[in-house]
Structure 1
Amino acid sequence: MALQIIGAGFGRTGTASLKLALEQLGFAPCYHMTEVIEQPAHIDRWMDVVAGKPDWDAIFGAYQACVDFPASSYYREIAEAYPNAKVLLSVRDPDTWFDSIYATIMSPKMVENISGTPFGELNRRTIWDKFGGRIHERAHMVECFKRHTEEVKATIDPDRLLVYEVKQGWGPLCEFLGVAVPDAAFPHVNSTEETKKILEMLFSGSGGEPTDSQRDQAVDRLYKREPDAGERH
């Protein structure tokens, strides 16, 4: 199975909703940071990427799509590895994006809780360092967001790229992918408040490493799965 869709958008641009939408459209499973949370063995695979020894098939071999960090940090390399895949750049208002990351995935408390853990090292090397480590500086991060958007548009062939906001719903996404619009509402999950609760569930304990049960419960809650439902992808 070759990757068909590459998400170039940063985390907190609707990537969890986009994952569910792509899977509903038949591009399942879709890789998201939650795959790393559920499958900690993937941390070593991403650290190989950091070391300049990527094995993309080892990461994405079972997946049809990818969105979110850490994949979006390497969209260019992944696009070169899978030249037939389409690229999806999820965006939102840059200031609102910063408000969201500062309250959730890059909050000072989150950074403190995971620092010194394997998951924290993954975040540092594949995400925080990409922003020069200045992840709590609004002006810098907003500028990085804008620059990333322009870089993707300049790098990826326009025929291969869709710049997209999840609030646009099914229409542009389905047209870009050449699939029918589903007879169902577009999924919307992972609000800022809900994400804060999920991260607290995962990373508030001593040592910063969640248990397997905490991982499963948090991911199920994020995607609004029933407690005994949902396949692990």
Structure 2
Amino acid sequence: MKVIVAGLPKTGTKSMNAALSQLGFVVYDALEHLVLTQNEYIDILHKGWSTEDFRRMYQDVDAIVDVPACIFWDEIHKAFPDAKIILTLRENEDIWWNSLLHQLEANDKFQNKITQLLSPTFRRAVSEILNVIGMVVFGSPFNQSYWKKSKMNEQMAKKGYRSHNAYVMSTAPKDKLLIYQCTEGWEPLCRFLEVPIPESPFPHKNIRGNISQELQDDPIAIQIGKEAFWSLIKVTLVTGVVTYCSMKYGAMNIANAMSNQTKGLLQRIWLSFSPSG
């Protein structure tokens, strides 16, 4: 581990992912944390952690950005004490809050909601990791309902933003800390990391919450999409079988009409669709 980006979501984390990747670092962003280290973070949030847990999780990673890793930046730094720490900030907390609102609105789009509903991996990441982080840091979960618009308390969210930033600035070793805004571009970042400045412009990603379009070619996002697609096929199959049996035998006699083989098939389909399947 060489770089720990401790900034909260909506402080330019997707731009930092792109920038650090362009500089040659192996980066874990939110999707990598939530999918590739999902079981580890669920244990951490529900059972506790040790320094060795983070050392094992990130031993082959150069840089980490975004949730849930940014919440545990200090624990990760204990595991990798030579790593440099970057606290990404927005111009002010009102700009940060408005950016967070745009992201919540994007998360509420039908495509994202249905993917979360149908993908066990995505659903588990939201319910057992993101919503827990949301409660701890911002005072409310990231996603309250599949059917209602997401909402957060502005005062609680801003308080969480201020508290997190103040803790990083007061706790991180001063000789290893860069307080940074992505609008500053390559020069201060590359000077801090002691790497050459690229000739290309500094990348700016996830503008106004358009991360869904930007992730279309991401392997993990594709994996989640495929998982949601096959879950939809399974649900459609179950619905078709139940509808057919209902029409042929009557709703009250479905259970008696089904053969043991059909019951077993439906049971296996249902278990594969369940979060623990």
- TM-score past 0.5 threshold: yes
**Is the contact made by 1:102 and 1:108 (CA closer than 8 Å) also made in structure 2?**
no
| Equivalences, count | 202
Matched, 1:43 2:38: yes
Aligned pairs for 1:34-183 (under 5 A) are 34-36=31-33, 40-50=35-45, 51-54=47-50, 55-92=53-90, 93-105=92-104, 109=108, 114=116, 117-120=123-126, 121-133=128-140, 136-183=152-199
Q: Who is 2:246 aligned against?
A: none
| Structure 2 residues not aligned, in runs of 5+ | 143-151, 228-277
Distance 1:49 1:94 in 2: 29
Which amino acid is 2:84 matched to?
A: K
* Structure with the larger helix share: 2
Deviation digits for residues 107-156 of structure 1, max 9, x if unmatched? Answer: 78379775893111210223432223276111221122122211111001
* CA-CA distance at 1:101 after TM superposition: 1.6
| Structure 1 residues not aligned, in runs of 5+ | 202-209, 217-233
Distance 1:25 1:211 in 2: 25
Q: What is the CA RMSD across the aligned residues, in angstroms?
A: 2.8
Distance 2:213 2:155 in 1: 27
Percent identity reads 28
Moved over 6 A (4+): 110-113
Which amino acid is 2:131 matched to?
A: R
CA distance 1:36–1:214, change in 2 (3 Å): farther
Q: Based on CA coordinates, which of the two structures has the bigger radius of gyration? A: 2
CA distance 1:107–1:141, change in 2 (3 Å): farther
Deviation digits for residues 138-184 of structure 1, max 9, x if unmatched? Answer: 12211221222111110011111000000100011011111111111
Structure with the bigger RCO (C-alpha within 8 Å, sep 6+) is 1
TM-score w.r.t. the length of structure 2 is 0.64
**Is the contact made by 1:45 and 1:58 (CA closer than 8 Å) also made in structure 2?**
no
Distance 1:153 1:69 in 2: 18
Which segment drifts farther, 66-75 or 133-142? 133-142
TM-score w.r.t. the length of structure 1 is 0.76
* CA-CA distance at 1:198 after TM superposition: 6.6
